[in-house]
């Protein structure tokens, strides 16, 4: 599980989490003037002590950028914008899953687009209305794309992207009030293999991060949730991307 944030001083912070442990924590030395809110992995090249990635990043001003990151052990994280891909409705409720961008527009309307190197294409409105959401994330699974979001009332929802037949399901009706950061990724390991691996969820609330899994994410009811485990680190982050 990877997570990004922008500090109050403008530095990009990056952590990798394996189950309930932080395995890597680093940050840029210099601040950036834009506020990234959602990150999607495009490609990665790594070996011990080094990682270079390309990512699609959406900021709160609605700009969609192609970004290159580089991390070397003992050195700060480096982030370089290589291309501006386009713009979407500005806001904080944005998620990236593979080549798909999702954002909550005016009136709670859920919008979707596909990013390419030449711009954003196939912008559509999905038949789902999201209101009073506090955090949102998306993930590509073997059975399609899933969006998870939390609400001010404390509920956790999942949206199955099926075009005009997309559906919104309540996974938990309470327990998620105050969540300001949410990240989802597939659990790929020797223990969780196969065609329908669980989805890992990382949530942050009141400076505490918790990790849990969504079992059977392809089920019609959205699957079931495991008990949340606290991540052994302090999270002063305001958002997760």
- Which pLDDT tens digit goes with each residue over 97-128? 999 999 999 999 999 999 998 899 999 999 99
| Residue 142, domain extent | 2-230
- Decide if 84 is inside a domain: yes
Q: Residue 238 domain-assigned?
A: no
Q: Is 237 among the domain residues? A: no
**Residues 40 and 96 sit within 8 Å (Cβ to Cβ):** yes
Q: Are 122 and 113 in contact (CB under 8 A)?
A: yes
> In the predicted model, what is the mean pLDDT of residues 162-180?
95
User: CA 71 to CA 48: how far, in whole Å?
Assistant: 11
**Distance between CA atoms of residues 8 and 11, nearest Å:** 8
Whether 205 is in a domain gets the answer: yes
Whichever domain contains 148, its CATH number is 2.120.10
Confidence (pLDDT) at 192: 46
Q: What is the pLDDT of residue 238?
A: 64
| 239 in any annotated domain | no
pLDDT, one tens digit per residue, over 39-71 is: 999 999 989 999 999 999 999 889 999 999 999
Mean pLDDT of 6-24: 87
C-alpha 75/C-alpha 72 separation (Å) is: 5
Q: Is residue 236 part of a domain?
A: no
Residue 239 has pLDDT above 70, yes or no: no
> Whole-model pTM above 0.95?
no
Burial of 88-113, coded b for 16+ CB within 10 Å and e otherwise, reads beeebbbbbbeebbbbbeeeeebbbb
Say how many domains are in the chain: 1
**pLDDT, position 75:** 94
């Amino acid at each position: 599980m990877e997570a990004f944030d922008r500090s109050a001083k403008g530095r990009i912070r990056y952590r990798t989490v394996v189950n309930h442990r932080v395995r890597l924590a680093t940050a840029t030395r210099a601040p950036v003037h834009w506020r990234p809110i959602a990150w999607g992995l495009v490609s990665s090249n790594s070996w011990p002590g080094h990682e270079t990635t390309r990512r699609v990043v959406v900021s709160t001003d609605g700009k969609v950028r192609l970004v290159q990151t580089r991390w070397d052990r003992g050195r700060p994280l480096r982030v370089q914008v290589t291309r501006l891909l386009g713009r979407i409705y500005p806001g904080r409720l944005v998620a990236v899953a593979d080549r798909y961008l999702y954002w909550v527009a005016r009136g709670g309307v859920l919008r979707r687009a596909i990013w390419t190197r030449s711009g954003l294409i196939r912008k559509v409105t999905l038949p789902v209305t999201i209101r009073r959401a506090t955090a949102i994330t998306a993930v590509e699974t073997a059975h399609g794309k899933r969006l998870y979001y939390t609400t001010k009332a404390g509920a956790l929802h999942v949206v199955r992207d099926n075009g005009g037949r997309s559906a919104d399901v309540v996974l938990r009706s309470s327990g998620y009030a105050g969540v300001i950061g949410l990240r989802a990724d597939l659990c790929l390991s020797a223990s969780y293999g196969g065609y329908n691996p669980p989805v890992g969820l990382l949530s942050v609330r009141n400076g505490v991060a918790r990790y849990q899994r969504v079992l059977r994410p392809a089920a019609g009811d959205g699957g079931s949730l495991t008990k949340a485990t606290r991540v052994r680190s302090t999270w002063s982050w305001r958002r997760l991307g």
